[in-house]
Chains A and B, each alone.
Chain A
């Protein structure tokens, strides 16, 4: 019974992980870092709009390379 509960919980957590993060966790981590860097630069009064586009291109390129497309 307890084993089934643990299995159900891990299955649920795995589903949430797959739903939010997907195949490549590094892309999700990179998004968090990029938004953090944007917030830091913006709070220092520096124009920071360019951070996310650069991050997207870099993250996508690296992820495609890891997937065997590069």
Chain B
């Protein structure tokens, strides 16, 4: 297995684990406070919707010529990766509050308790919140699996890495019976942001007609150099924040 393939599987695994932790928090909140059966029905419906999206987009993406695929996918991975990296840097530097699973769980649970309820049957609120949470978090994973997998012709291993991550998060959630607040989400997001941005730069430039010195081996330089630049930026921002008053914002976003 090449370094790029290992990078692919690791990125998919980490990205999927992060998104699964976030989806688990939402499902736990509405399941515990409202209705487990309706929440799990929402999870199942979202999983079906995601499967349909994978089936529809997967064949369309893999049918694209490799040059077009690389520039489109590279551009999307770059925009996506830069978003992840930007947030991870801001959180790592203390400029933006860390993703707080316990806080999000409590806010979701409070909103779920406050929402009106009709009868003892099917709970539409629990279904809708669980469906939306799993679909939105799952879409990011689907996107990463498809783009990474299609570019390297490894959709199945990428999907397997995603499946293992989801299964591990579910097992951990069942064991803990609580939001997985101790998972180092920001470190994982930082790593994913570096990988998405690095692969996005590489494939995007290649798709646009550029040739990297050393070919695929250029990735072995791009990934660590970008990681070093990002870590350096975190240190600079921390030092800057220490000199002025920190701006801490409440965060419930990705």
Contacts and interface: CB of A to CB of B under 8 A. Distances in A.
B31 interface: no
B233 A68 contact: no
Q: Which of B71, B78, B90, B240 has the most CB of A within 10 A?
A: B78
B79 A28 contact: yes
Given A48-B208, A52-B204, A64 B75 contact: no
B201 A19 contact: no
Given A22-B79, A27-B83, A56-B82, A64 B205 contact: no
Contacts of B79: 20-22, 27-28, 31
Contacts of A47: 210-211
Contact of A63 (B86, B140, B209): B86
B214 to A, nearest CB: 10
A68 B95 contact: yes
A67 interface: yes
Q: Interface size class for chain A?
A: 35 or more
Contact of A69 (B89, B201, B210, B222): B89
Interface of B: 71, 74-76, 78-80, 82-83, 85-87, 89-90, 93, 95-96, 136, 139-140, 197, 200-201, 204-205, 207-213, 218, 222, 226, 229-230, 233, 237, 240-241, 247
A64 B240 CA distance: 12
Contact of A42 (B87, B210, B213, B226): B210
Q: Which of A27, A43, A47, A52 has the most CB of B within 10 A?
A: A52
Contacts of B229: 57
Contacts of A52: 78, 201, 204-205, 210
Given A42-B209, A48-B208, A49-B210, A32 B96 contact: no
A60 interface: yes
Nearest to B214: A49
A51 B210 CA distance: 9
A43 B80 CA distance: 26
A16 to B, nearest CB: 10
A48 B208 CA distance: 9
A53 interface: yes
Q: Which of A49, A68, A69, A70 has the most CB of B within 10 A?
A: A69
27 contacts: A15-B136, A19-B139, A23-B87, A24-B86, A27-B79, A27-B82, A31-B82, A31-B204, A38-B204, A38-B210, A42-B211, A43-B209, A48-B208, A49-B205, A49-B210, A49-B211, A51-B205, A52-B78, A52-B205, A56-B78, A57-B229, A60-B233, A67-B86, A67-B90, A69-B95, A70-B237, A70-B240
Nearest to B247: A68
Given A56-B78, A69-B95, A38 B89 contact: no
B212 A49 contact: yes
Nearest to A21: B79
B205 A48 contact: yes
A35 interface: yes
